[in-house]
Amino acid sequence: MTETLEIAPRVRPRWPGRTALALGILTPVAVATGVAAAQLGAFEVATGAAWTGIGTSALAVLGGIVAIVGNWHRGAAIGGLAIGLLANPLVLTHGLGAVGTV
C-alpha cells in the first residue's frame, strides 16, 4: 500500500491589495474633510486634511502598483490605485482648473 503525500496549495496573501483599496477609499474622505473644514474657516484642519489626502493617495497608488505586480488581490489593488489617483487633491485641482477654462 502506497501513501500519497498531499501538499497544501500556497495561499497568496490578500492584504496588500486590500490595504491599497482601503487607502484609496480614505483619500476622498480626507479631501471631503478638508473641503468641509475650509468652508467652515478651519484652515489648519483643512491643510492637514489635504496633506493627509495627498499622503494616502500616494500610498494607495504605490501599494496598488506593488500588489498588482505581485498578484496580491489584483482587483482590490486596481480599485485602490484608480481611486487614489483620481481623488488626489493635486490631480483634482489641476483637473478642475482645466475643465474650468473650457
Summarize pLDDT for 45-85 with one digit per residue, the tens.
Answer: 999 999 999 999 999 999 999 999 999 999 999 999 999 99
Per-residue confidence (pLDDT) for residue 1, from 0 to 100? 63
Place of cell 483637473: 95
- In total, the chain counts a number of residues equal to 102
Q: What does the pLDDT average to over 36-45?
A: 96
Look at residue 6 and tell me whether its pLDDT is greater than 90: no
Q: What does the pLDDT average to over 30-53?
A: 96
Per-residue confidence (pLDDT) for residue 18, from 0 to 100? 95
pLDDT band of 13, cuts 50, 70, 90: confident
Give the whole-angstrom CA distance, residue 39 versus residue 58. 25
CA-based diameter of the chain, in Å? Answer: 80
Strand blocks (E) in the chain: none
Give the whole-angstrom CA distance, residue 53 versus residue 23. 9
| Per-residue b or e along 12-31, where b marks 16 or more CB atoms closer than 10 Å to that residue's CB | eeeebbbbbbbbbbbbbebb
What is the pTM (predicted TM-score) of this model? 0.81
